[in-house]
Amino acid sequence: MKNTFGQSLSVTLFGESHGEAVGAVIDGIAPGIPVDEKEIEKQLSRRRPSSALDTARVENDEFSILSGVFEGKTTGTPLCIVIKNENTRSGDYAYGTARPSHADYAASRKYHGYEDYRGGGHFSGRITAALVAAGGILLPALERKGIIIGTHISQCGNEKDRDFDNVLSDIITLKNADFPVLDGNAKQRITDEILKAKNSLDSVGGATQTAVYGLPAGVGEPWFDSVESVLSHALFGIGAVKGVEFGLGFGFAAANGSRVNDALRVDKGRIFTETNNNGGINGGITNGMPVIFRCAVKPTPSIAKEQKTVDFIKNENTTITVGGRHDPAIIRRICPVIDSVAAIAVCDLLAQRFGTDYLAGEEPLCSSV
Contact in structure between 203 and 305 (CB atoms under 8 Å):
no
For residue 362, pLDDT over 80 is answered with no
State pLDDT tens for residues 153-162. 999 999 999 9
Mean per-residue pLDDT, 328-350: 97
Mean pLDDT across the chain: 93
Q: Given this model, what pLDDT does residue 57 score?
A: 65
CATH architecture of 4-354: 4-Layer Sandwich (3.60)
pLDDT for 54: 73
Confidence bin at 140 (pLDDT 50/70/90): very high
Could you tell me the CA-to-CA distances from 246 to 159, 217, 269, 277, 352 in Å, in that order? 21, 16, 27, 8, 22
List, in sequence order, every residue forming a beta bridge with 284; answer none if it has no partner: none
Q: Side chain identity at 84, as an amino acid letter?
A: K
**Which of 6-10, 290-294, 321-325 shows the lowest mean pLDDT across its residues?**
321-325
What is the predicted pLDDT for the residue at 365? 43
Each residue of 201-219: pLDDT tens digit? 999 999 999 999 999 999 9
| pLDDT over 50 (residue 340) | yes
- pLDDT average, residue stretch 260-266: 98
From CA 214, how far away is CA 28, in angstroms rounded? 22
Whether the Cβ atoms of residue 183 and residue 245 lie closer than 8 Å to each other: no
**Would you list the domain boundaries of the chain?**
4-354
DSSP 111-124: HTT-S--GGGGGGS
**What would the pLDDT profile of 25-61 be if each residue is shown by its tens digit?**
999 999 999 999 999 999 999 998 777 777 766 778 8
pLDDT at 323 over 90: no
Burial code (b: 16+ CB inside 10 Å, e: under 16) for 310-338 equals bebeeeeeeebebebebbbbbbbbbbbbb
